[in-house]
Amino acid sequence: MKDNFSIQSDRYAKYRPTYPDTLYDYLLSIVPARENAWDCGTGNGQIAQVLAESFKNVFATDISQQQIDNAVLHENIAYSVQPAEKTSFPDNFFDLITVAQAIHWFDFDAFYREVTRTGRNGGVLAVIGYGLIQINSSIDRIIAAFYRDVVGPYWDKERRYVDENYRTIPFPFQEINTPAFDNDFEWSFDHLIGYIGTWSAVKHYEKKNGSNPVDLIRDELKKSWGDTATLKGKFPILLRVARINCR
């Protein structure tokens, strides 16, 4: 598993989008029990925090100590630094395993073996993510060109799985057909700039060139944004859900 997010993990916690309540309600409606959940690649713990309101125990893991250090604390969340592919959890333990905007960094085969080992029979695996931000046609055009032409060469090869809406990842489970979800938001211009700055390709560009590529589009984005304090937008949610160990 790659670690692209230890640097500026505080900014990741501040600017990355959350997920809609409707998505959590859906997952809670299909889990066999609400005893133990594992949020894998937890990052700042945003999903673990929500799961902690419904599950007796939530175990949240990441390979980044810096991400864990910036994670949201909760009395029934146990954070630990562990790779997704090999953990210390017992067999047949989890009712729900979530991995959000991270599975494309994993060793698929090794992770799925760990899911099969630690998941309870009939438990649920939820692979979650989000696509490219959508605000309005003018802003979307600028961001899409930046994504493709400016920082496009700096994306890790695994990013293609996100571009392909997670439909091309290996998924050797009994898949469940899911509803479609969007994550709606209302952000300031500074929040948008902060979010784009958390992209791993932006960080790779900065490391190689010694400058922030977001500065190349800041003025154009601001012109398209206009004078309004906030704008509404959405992220399309990527979702693959499966039953674990069903025979």
What percentage of the chain carries pLDDT values higher than 70?
94
Asked if residue 19 is part of any domain, the answer here is yes
Cβ atoms < 10 Å from Cβ of 4: 16
Asked if residue 64 is part of any domain, the answer here is yes
Top-confidence residue, 4 or 101: 101
Asked if residue 195 is part of any domain, the answer here is no
CA distance 127 to 120: 17
Cβ neighbours for 105, distance < 8 A, ≥ 6 positions apart: 1, 2, 4, 41, 156, 158
Average pLDDT on 119-125 reads 96
- The tens digit of pLDDT for each residue in 129-175 reads 999 999 999 999 999 999 999 999 999 998 999 999 999 999 999 89
Asked if residue 140 is part of any domain, the answer here is no
Asked if residue 192 is part of any domain, the answer here is no
Q: Please name the residue ranges forming H helices in the chain.
A: 9-15, 21-30, 46-51, 65-69, 108-118, 137-145, 160-163, 189-196, 200-209, 218-225
- pLDDT, averaged across the chain: 93
Domain span at residue 58 reads: 9-133+157-185+235-243
Asked if residue 203 is part of any domain, the answer here is no
Q: Is the pLDDT assigned to residue 3 strictly greater than 50?
A: no
- The tens digit of pLDDT for each residue in 159-168 reads 999 999 999 9
CA distance 1 to 105: 5
Q: Is the pLDDT assigned to residue 6 strictly greater than 50?
A: no
What is the full DSSP assignment across 101-167?
A: S-GGGS-HHHHHHHHHHHEEEEEEEEEEEE-S-BS-HHHHHHHHHIIIIISGGGS-GGGHHHHTTTT
Average pLDDT on 117-122 reads 96
- The tens digit of pLDDT for each residue in 17-65 reads 889 999 999 999 999 999 999 999 999 899 999 999 999 999 999 999 9
Asked if residue 213 is part of any domain, the answer here is no
Q: How many domains does the chain divide into?
A: 1
Query: The domain spanning residue 129 has which CATH number?
Result: 3.40.50.150
Q: Can you give the pLDDT at residue 245?
A: 80
Residue 188, H or E segment: strand 182-188
> Alpha carbon of 229 to those of 106, 183, 184, 239: distances in Å?
39, 20, 17, 32
Cβ atoms < 10 Å from Cβ of 60: 30
Q: What is the dihedral of CA 209, 213, 215, 218, to 10 degrees?
A: 170
Q: Which amino acid is located at 92 in the chain? A: N
Asked if residue 151 is part of any domain, the answer here is no
